[in-house]
A and B are shown apart, each in its own frame.
Chain A
Amino acid sequence: MIWSKQEILPREEIEAIQLSRLQETVARVYEKVAPYRKKMDEAGIRPSDIQSLSDLARLPFVTKRDLRDNYPFGMFAVPKEELVRIHASSGTTGKPTVVGYTQNDLDVWTECVSRVACMGGATEKDVAQICFGYGMFTGALGLHYGLERIGAAIVPSSTGNSEKQIMYMQDFETSLLVATPSYALRLAEVARSMGIDPAKDLKVKIGLVGSELLTDAMREEMRKYWGKDMLITSNYGMSELNGPGVSGECEYLCGMHINEDFYIPEIIDSETGEVLPAGEKGELVITCIKKEGLPLIRYRTKDITRLFYEKCKCGRTFCRMENLSGRSDDMLKVRGVNVFPGQIEEVIFGFEELGPHYEIIVEREGYLDKMTIRVELVHSTDSFAELERLRNAIRAKLRTVLGLDAKIMLESPNTLQRFEGKAKRIKDLRSK
């Protein structure tokens, strides 16, 4: 089902909406947000210069740094009195990033999430259990209001207390699960330890996952536990862009449809800042064109993807962004080679003997980087030869995929740390 008529507008109409909203937004931030005015003056561009969508590329970028430098409200375009909600990112690397919403912003956000949830198969009949942490993080409340608007029954169970989560699923007949992919796997593990087979004994048929990468291998792994016919879609967003609801996958799983009447996407070369043509891989840059509280223009997401503009089989005309191959933040450079955790994950999921959890440790020995990957051996063998064969097979596969040698450490099940929110799988012990 398609939630809004906007999603199937012809391209010209989408672009007409984008241009008028962009012009309005740029004029407003130039007038009301000092740091923007300064940036635009330095770049020698005025709001009246925005005559077509291609003029967007003339505007300066905004980064997370700008938000930190203007902490807490310096980038806001409305007085604090007009805000009705404030969220913040975790701020693990210093001050958090603060985002604020007017009532209209919340309405737009909810609309965007409803569309995305609808794409992922949600209907008013669903019982939706939200296993994202509630709080300053935007994921939980974003999905909460979007699904509620659709008419689903919300179970705001948050994270933690996994056995109780399974009990709710069983007793309330939860049909839709919202979680990070890694927490969804953890919940399946807990269910099994309680003697409950999620695929047979629970009624969860839809998974809306986000806040972590969803590789095809991870989707397969999730289906292995939750059921072959579960529809698992990923959705995308970040608190700076309201939260979830920027884009989401439909049932054809061919990329995430971006809500283009609210967000204009661009792909740039992250080194040079040049805009790349459709279909090329680069950093995603998003401009919010219908945001009052914190209207970010050309915000650098640091996420690496590609854009496709061909119409989707589902009927939507909004462009699609490919499922992320990685965040530039998550990328590791090991002995000069770029490594994305997703690549390692795909290799690990290919081995039946291993569980879905892993940890990547990078250390420096002398002048050389050394990578160790800890995995859990779920099915043991009775001979060392078999164990060695397995280790060598994993190593060889990783070498093919990454072009790097890694040491494989086999661990017992339930040894590695489990995560309820975003999984932290990398331990980089090299001094920076």
Chain B
Amino acid sequence: MSSTKIFLKSSDDKTFEIDETAARASETLKNIIDGGCLDGVIPLPNVSSNILPKVIEYCKKHGGDNGSSKKIANGGVDKDKEILPDYDEEEDKREKVRVDELKKWEEEYMDFDQQVLYDLMLAANYLHIKGLLDLTVEKAASMIRGRTPDQIRENFNINSDFTPEEEEEMILIEDEWDDEWAFD
């Protein structure tokens, strides 16, 4: 059984092709396909042609997978998924190799600039691709974790736009209380 091709149209009217099995990595696309509303091309008004190929790349890698290798048995096996679900020791080894390979792939996949990170988070959220959302959100969180406010501003190109009065309120910890303390 060969996989059906699905066509996706980006916000700027460019059309991309994707295997149905890969498209199913997206909960949104899966619902459209299963709902039988497939009318040639699926328009994605929230995803531009800059980011759609990157999304498709992720789906190709994870399509028909959804976190477990069992679903691969349903036919749509693409070239990345040659492992069949045999329950033996060999399977464990192959699973480990597969996970290691996937980690390496993710590392390379996630090497992009901030604009792409924002766009990918938005696209993954819109298309309900859980794995991709987890991956991108974790990257954003890691750019915040353990940083000072200044470092966060630098990482995300944020300008402090507080007025001087507000700036004063942003001093979290003052040595003297200006007003009466609520606890007393």
A and B held together in a complex:
no
Chain B residues with a Cβ under 8 A of chain A: none
Chain A residues with a Cβ under 8 A of chain B: none
